[in-house]
């Protein structure tokens, strides 16, 4: 089956426009979670290598590892959800459309919750390491 068309036309119904906007939003979430995956790998590497012994506790490192697993799980769920949304074109009534719209709202809440927790964890990390980094001087 072909992916859901996301170009919005004048003749599209409000429900069609909603589905298209939700698809675009979902693509953005997936791309953002892929970026967070890379960022978490860098932060985990930083904690385990460069800051080894400089942080007072292992909790940040462990929290980053846990968040990486949660990010992977959410990314996988959203990718499966993206595949399932291809069946939207089969909807023949408003009840079917509303199921997809409600499901999308549920995923939105989960994504925003994940994002909020991730940002708080990064803030916690940067608050702990502030002043721990030293700039390398260039040789004269």
- 3-class secondary structure per residue, the chain: CCCCCCCCCCCCCHHHHHHHHHHHHHHHHHHHHHHHHHHHHHHHHHHHHHCCCCCCCCHHHHHHHHHHHHHHHHHHHHHHHHHHHHHHHHCCCHHHHHHHHHHHHHHHHHHHHHHHHHHHHHHHHHHHHCCCCCCCCCCC
4 — pLDDT class (breaks 50, 70, 90): low
pLDDT of residue 52: 57
pLDDT of residue 51: 60
The pTM (predicted TM-score) of the whole model is: 0.83
What percent of the chain shows pLDDT beyond 90? 55
Choose the weakest-confidence range: 14-18, 38-42, 45-49, 80-84: 45-49
Domain definitions of the chain by residue range: 14-129
């Amino acid at each position: 089956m072909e992916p859901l068309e996301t170009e919005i036309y004048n003749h599209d119904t409000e429900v069609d426009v909603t589905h298209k906007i939700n698809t675009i939003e979902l693509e953005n979430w997936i791309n953002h979670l892929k970026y967070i995956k890379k960022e978490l790998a860098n932060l985990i590497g930083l904690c385990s290598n460069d800051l080894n012994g400089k942080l007072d506790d292992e909790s940040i490192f462990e929290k980053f590892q846990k968040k990486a697993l949660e990010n992977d799980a959410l990314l996988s769920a959203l990718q499966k959800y993206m595949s399932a949304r291809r069946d939207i074109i089969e909807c023949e009534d408003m009840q079917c459309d509303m199921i997809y719209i409600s499901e999308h709202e549920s995923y939105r809440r989960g994504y925003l919750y994940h994002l909020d927790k991730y940002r708080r964890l990064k803030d916690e990390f940067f608050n702990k390491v502030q002043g721990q980094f030293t700039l390398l001087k260039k040789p004269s």
